[in-house]
Homo-oligomer: A and B are copies of this chain.
Amino acid sequence: MAKVTIKDVAREAGVAISTVSNAMNNSNLVNEETRAKILEVAERLDYVPNMNGRMLKTKRSNELAFLTSSIQGDYFTTFLGSMNQQCNDMGYTLNIVITRDDDVIRNHILGKGFDGIFIFLGEWFREAGIQLLEKHRIPAVFLDRAYSSSRIGSVVFDSRRMGYQAAKYLINLGHRGIGFLEGSMDVFDGVQRKQGYLDAMEEYGLPVRQEFVLDGRFDELYTYNAVTSFLRRREVEMPDAFIAGNDLSAVGCINALKDAGYQVPQDVSVVGFDDIPVAKYLSPKLTTVKNPISLQGIAAVKMLVGIIQERGCGRVESLAGELLVRESSGVMLRDK
């Protein structure tokens, strides 16, 4: 059966297509009987307006796109769930597109008629992409960086502050030699978390020892190896604690410490970021910073819709996380 169009409905109902269109969209223009007849026919034929035809005229789709380079990890599950719900609540549908392809990205930004775009593309979206958005005045909200202009906003976590708080927490526990397992320096959170750590060290006048700053790459195995080779290199000088770029990295760190004969937190405290679901099942249970992921999704949708409907303009919204103290961190015990 061929696709049924507005023509089919018009013919079947014995009216003009414009009347069908009006009946389906504009309540008060059409005679009630005519409308009833048209709706009955439309229902019978399973008529659904072709969005391509409609959008060619109206320039509005009530569709938003979420462009992401990945949906791996629990973060996305939580995030997309809340985002999608909020989109629906506000009358939009969300299209999630996983891609790292420049052409696909351009197509979705420029060629599909989305009313607005959420961007979580990390390194797959750079300056040129921003220029494109700006030049064509596409409403957009970034979830992976802090950027804003008149039609573009961002909703991010206040990773710098949380990095600062994690470090401060450890300092208050008596730790002085605090190491950092840095994540990716291409990633907003990676940079910010480290910066927060540096902020705290500076505020308390503690030296940042470069040999205590290891490359963890947000990766469990990579961190495990980095910490293991660090421990082999220098038996003498141990950090009192490590802040890891994320929980996976914290797990790798803890395992490396254990395998080298250290106890966590008795010998070394470890703090992560994210509060991944297994964090509370680990032994020791992981002390970590939890971000309000659902709130990020909701805030992002509100911001984008605000920009689209001209009720708001672009800005950077920064959400605070929460330090969850569990078992992998404790007061400083070792003698110095």
Bound form: Cα–Cα A136–B2 in Å: 7
**Which residues of A from 76 to 114 have beta carbons under 8 Å from B?**
76-77, 80-81, 84, 88, 93-99, 101, 104, 106-107, 109-113
- Closest residue of chain B to A66 (Cβ to Cβ) is B96
The contact of A97 among B72, B94, B104, B136, by CB within 8 Å, is: B94
Structural contact, B80 and A77, CB atoms closer than 8 A: no
Q: Which of A50-58, A187-195, A314-322, A328-336 lies at the interface with chain B?
A: A50-58
Q: Tell whether A207 is near chain B: CB-to-CB under 8 Å.
A: no
Measured CB to CB, the nearest residue on chain B to A50 is B111
Chain B residues with CB under 8 Å of A136's CB are: 1, 3-4, 46
* A281 located at the interface, meaning its Cβ lies under 8 Å from any Cβ of chain B in the complex: yes
Residues on B with beta carbons closer than 8 Å to the beta carbon of A81: 70-72, 98
Q: Are B48 and A110 in contact (CB under 8 A)?
A: yes
- Determine the chain B residues whose CB is within 8 A of the CB of A101 once the complex forms: 88
| Chain A interface residues (CB < 8 Å from chain B) | 1, 3-4, 46, 48-53, 55-56, 70-74, 76-77, 80-81, 84, 88, 93-99, 101, 104, 106-107, 109-113, 132, 135-137, 277-278, 281-282
Cβ contact of A278, chosen from B51, B80, B281, cutoff 8 A: B281
The residues of B that contact A113 with a CB separation of less than 8 Å are 50-52
**CB nearest neighbor in B for A78:** B72
Quick check: B93 and A97 within 8 Å, CB to CB?
A: yes
Q: What residues on B are CB-neighbors of A137 within 8 Å?
A: 1
A14 → B minimal CB distance (Å): 23
CB distance from A150 to the nearest CB of B (A): 13
Which of B99, B110, B281 meets A282, CB within 8 Å? B281
Minimum distance in angstroms from A248 CB to a CB of chain B: 12
Structural contact, B71 and A111, CB atoms closer than 8 A: no
Closest to A131 in B: B46
Known contacts: A46-B135, A52-B55. The answer to whether A96 contacts B97 by CB under 8 A is yes
Shortest Cβ distance from residue A94 to the other chain B in the assembled complex, whole angstroms: 7
Given contacts A77-B77, A93-B97, 17 further A-B contacts (CB under 8 A): A1-B136, A1-B137, A3-B136, A46-B110, A51-B52, A51-B111, A51-B112, A71-B80, A72-B81, A74-B74, A74-B77, A81-B98, A88-B104, A93-B99, A93-B104, A96-B97, A278-B281
Q: Is B96 a contact of A96 with CB atoms below 8 Å?
A: yes
Name the residue of chain B whose CB is nearest to the CB of A113. B52
Output the nearest chain B residue to A106 by Cβ-Cβ distance.
B48
Q: List 29 A-B pairs, Cβ < 8 Å.
A: A1-B135, A3-B136, A46-B110, A46-B136, A50-B111, A51-B111, A51-B112, A51-B113, A52-B53, A52-B112, A52-B113, A71-B71, A71-B81, A72-B81, A73-B77, A76-B77, A77-B77, A80-B98, A84-B98, A88-B99, A88-B101, A88-B104, A94-B97, A94-B98, A95-B95, A95-B96, A96-B96, A277-B278, A278-B278
